[in-house]
Amino acid sequence: MPANPAGAYFDNNATTQPLPAVVEAMRPCLEGKFGNASSIHRQGQLARAVVEAARVAAAELIGAEPNEIVFTSGGTEADNLALFGMISEPRGAHLIVSSIEHHAVLLAARELAERGAAVSWLPVMRDGRVQPSDVERALRPETRLISVMLANNETGVIQPLEAIGRIARQARVPLHVDAVQAVGKIPVKVGDLGCELLSFSAHKFHGPQGAGALYVRRGTRLRPLFYGGRHERGRRAGTENLAGIAGLGEAARLARRDLETEALQQSRMRDALEAAVKQAIPEVEVLGAHSPRVPNTSCLHIPGIAGEALVIALDLRGYCISTGAACSSGAVEPSHVLTAMGLEDAEARACVRISLGKLNREEEVEAFCRILPAEIARLLELSPQASRLAAQPA
């Protein structure tokens, strides 16, 4: 994709643009290879071959076996299948969850609590990391599952999952990893993590929306969410999303091929962006800067501004970024991730997230580095009253 001198898309943690090769891989499934993968005739078998080829590609991306991959509609379903599938009878069960999880895990855990499960919420330090010792202290005889994300969607901070995995294995407690923001950006190997379950989603690494997967280690007992056919070895009933799965498979293949070079390129662009902003406005804090991070993500705390105001100002210049806040029903609440890291509500609302992708180019970042400090300076000139109003919930 050619660079757009009038702006650029820097919200790749929200979703990525499907690569041209991904679109081409999906096209036949909407035309000639449109069969049901469960049918035994030729069209059905052509569809089955597409599904199984994608399963192999998805497995190779995370170091799994193909028969350990369960295709889903995305990361949210994969997370829900992991939690509700492992704790199908919540009363008396205990679950350990980090306090910075995506809402797909966070709200699923809260629902399990409503149904009678006990939930231990792991804190994080200012650097955004869970302490493995806190996981160990939270264990109980009735602990049925530990769920800790690999990379945070707002800060990009990578959690110490190998250490947590060793604790989980020693305690013989299954571990679920939400790797939606990690797969396709950094090397992810389920064997190294020691997890029984791992969620990922195609649209986070330049595949289509509506296609994801849950890794389920062989021998792990998992109750399905849906009942109907025997699809996905009885773990996910419903006719497979053939085109979406084909796109996921091609995106996985390309991500694996380009992983090292893309990580270097994106980390170089991210570091240049952060350095330029810090040089122009020294008060800016890069959250998680001293922790391991995925190479594409920068979360900036900019004292004195409202994150939403900066997002809008940059959108008018053609640049797409996001805030560190979650929006619901027209109200803006401070990010649970940032407040868990110790930020006050007003500080959390003064944060923005910039997330790069495979289609971003250095010239886009260079242009952005000239525009971003100028927009920040302009917003800082606003009256304190206007700034306070902009920072308040709607």
Confidence of residue 358 (pLDDT cuts 50, 70, 90): very high
Comparing CA positions, the residue from 220, 229, 170 lying closest to residue 197 is 220
Q: Catalytic pick from 195, 320, 327, 351?
A: 327
DSSP per-residue codes, 265-310: HHHHHHHHHHHHHHHH-TT-EETTTTS-B-TTEEEEE-TTS-HHHH
**Token pair recorded at residue 222:** 């998992």
* Residue 195 annotated as catalytic: no
Confidence of residue 40 (pLDDT cuts 50, 70, 90): confident
| Topology annotation, domain 8-16+259-391 | Aspartate Aminotransferase, domain 1 (3.90.1150)
Res 324: pLDDT: 61
DSSP 3-state assignment of 157? Answer: strand
**Token pair recorded at residue 305:** 């501004």
Written as one letter, the residue type at 10 is F
Q: What is the pLDDT of residues 248-306, one digit of tens each?
A: 999 999 999 999 999 999 999 999 999 999 999 999 999 999 999 999 999 999 999 99
Helix, strand, coil shares of the chain, percent, nearest 5, are 45, 15, 40
Comparing CA positions, the residue from 293, 394, 388 lying closest to residue 350 is 388
Is residue 155 within 8 Å of residue 297, measured between CB atoms?
yes
Continuous segment of H or E residues that includes residue 245: helix 242-280
Mean pLDDT of the residues in the chain: 92
User: Which of the following CATH numbers is that of domain 20-254: 3.40.50.880, 3.40.50.150, 3.20.20.370, 3.40.640.10?
Assistant: 3.40.640.10
Angle, CA 389 vertex, CA 388 and CA 390 arms, to 5°: 90
Q: What is the pLDDT of residues 191-209, one digit of tens each?
A: 999 999 999 999 999 999 9
Is residue 209 within 8 Å of residue 187, measured between CB atoms?
no
Is residue 206 within 8 Å of residue 256, measured between CB atoms?
no
> Over 70: is that where the pLDDT of 217 sits?
yes
Res 171: pLDDT: 98
What are the extents of the domains in the chain? 8-16+259-391, 20-254
pTM of the predicted protein model: 0.93
Q: What is the phi-psi region of residue 94: left when phi exceeds 0, alpha when psi lies from -120 to 50, beta otherwise?
A: beta
